[in-house]
Chain A
Amino acid sequence: MKEAFLNIVTKNQGIIHKVCGVYCDTIVDREDLFQEILSQLWRSYPTFRNESKISTWMYQVSLNTAITHFKKNKRRPDRNDFSKSFLQIADEHYDETVEDQLKSLHKAIAKLTGIEKSIVLLYLEDKKYEEIADIIGITQNYVRVKMNRIKGKLKKFMGEV
């Protein structure tokens, strides 16, 4: 069972990295959260039934863990360290303007609430409203309403940045 689990997680670890990227400001935080998500996935794996997609299950567990993650009050290293590594665009696509826009988007997302962050992440990941609703456990209609509000908020925050 562990082998199958490791295989699934290794193949789909991009999901965990993106969730950590949206919810964490520093490398230390990201590592803590990554490990906690991994533990939660392992604990939840025996109850995972193939009724839902692997990605849906991984998003559910990862986002729930990130939203309820407890950050210790400790001195944090340079905040920029993490965004630099997370927002690095692959060389073949590199574009300075796009990277700047992504950085301001990342800063704007950081100002959203936990649930809003999960909705915007799934939206950016090109998930359909139906799937977003399924992952977060809210209605499709509300995802639509919430998404409109989030777009407004992000526009405002990105303007400030």
Chain B
Amino acid sequence: MELDELKSAWNKISSDNEKLLLNENEINKLLKKRTLDISEKIGRNIRIGMGIILGWVCLGFGIDFIFTPIFEKHFNKPYLTDELMFWSFILEVLNYVLIFTAIIIFWIRYSKIEKGKIDTTNLKDKLTMIIKTLNSYRIMFYIVLFIILLYVVASFSSGFFMEYNYQVKELGINLENLSFWGWAVIVLTFAITLGLFVAIYYLLFNLFFKRLYGRYLKQLKSTLKELEEVNL
């Protein structure tokens, strides 16, 4: 059957039937339950994300500069060697500088998008705005991922190095006489464990974002592309 022939049938659809019709009061009630639109929802998620990053920074700061000294005092010996302390400290400082720079850059970018008022009757503007917001959200996601990976690598390496020092100094084990295969096992264990940590974190974050907004972002981009082709 041709589409034109279906026009009259379409008009018979009882979209005005009583089941669907709402009165003014019901519409007013729905309005009062006003939901957040997608940009507002993403905005809220971004603010929560920023809060989590700041919480992470505070926690790290607390562990490094409050709990560790208490721990050292309690056990009456330095937990970390001076040498390890130095490069671990440099890594931590670098990590915090990175996080703060990322937060500032991200916030400037996000504020620019949020301030730009759009005309809701213009589909192209609306699509562009949501895509920009989602991309910002994705960038923040990857910044968080990068920071966590850096943290994992730094913590794991320092732990591994500490264990090495402990074996050598405390237990009097002479690792210098270790055979080639002995070293190979140590290096491989280090590389595989670190690789696994990094891969798990990366996969989890990636999967989380893709499950959350991946398909939606793809769909919006393809709609925008279609709209742009239309207007060529």
Contacts and interface: CB of A to CB of B under 8 A. Distances in A.
Interface of A: 2, 6-7, 9-10, 13-14, 17-18, 21, 32, 34-36, 38-40, 42-44, 47, 57, 60-61, 63-65, 67-71, 73, 85-90, 93, 98, 101-102, 105, 113-115, 120, 123-126, 136-139, 142, 146, 151, 154-155, 158
Contacts of B38: 68-70
Nearest to B8: A98
A44 B28 CA distance: 16
Contact of A13 (B2, B21, B230): B21
13 contacts: A18-B13, A39-B31, A44-B121, A60-B120, A63-B123, A68-B127, A69-B38, A85-B20, A90-B14, A93-B12, A101-B9, A113-B222, A158-B1
A86 B10 CA distance: 11
B169 interface: no
A41 B16 CA distance: 20
A136 to B, nearest CB: 7
Contact of B119 (A34, A47, A146): A47
B230 A9 contact: no
Contact of A34 (B30, B37, B130, B226): B30
Contact of B11 (A9, A69, A123, A126): A126
A39 B29 CA distance: 11
B121 A60 contact: yes
Nearest to B20: A17
B227 A115 contact: yes
Contacts of B41: 70
A88 B7 contact: no
Shortest beta-carbon contacts, A-B, top 10: A90-B14, A60-B121, A93-B12, A124-B10, A17-B15, A44-B120, A98-B9, A70-B38, A138-B230, A6-B24
Taking residues whose C-beta sits less than 8 angstroms from the other chain, chain B's interface range is 35 or more
Interface of B: 1-3, 6-7, 9-17, 19-24, 27-28, 30-31, 33-35, 37-38, 41, 119-124, 126-127, 130, 211, 213, 216, 219-220, 222-223, 226-227, 230-231
B27 A13 contact: yes
A9 B37 CA distance: 19
Contact of A67 (B13, B34, B223): B223
Contacts of B220: 68
B121 A57 contact: yes
A137 B130 contact: no
Contacts of A10: 22-24, 27
A94 B130 CA distance: 42
A64 B126 CA distance: 8
A86 B13 contact: yes
A61 B121 contact: yes
A126 B123 CA distance: 22
Contact of A68 (B11, B126, B230): B126
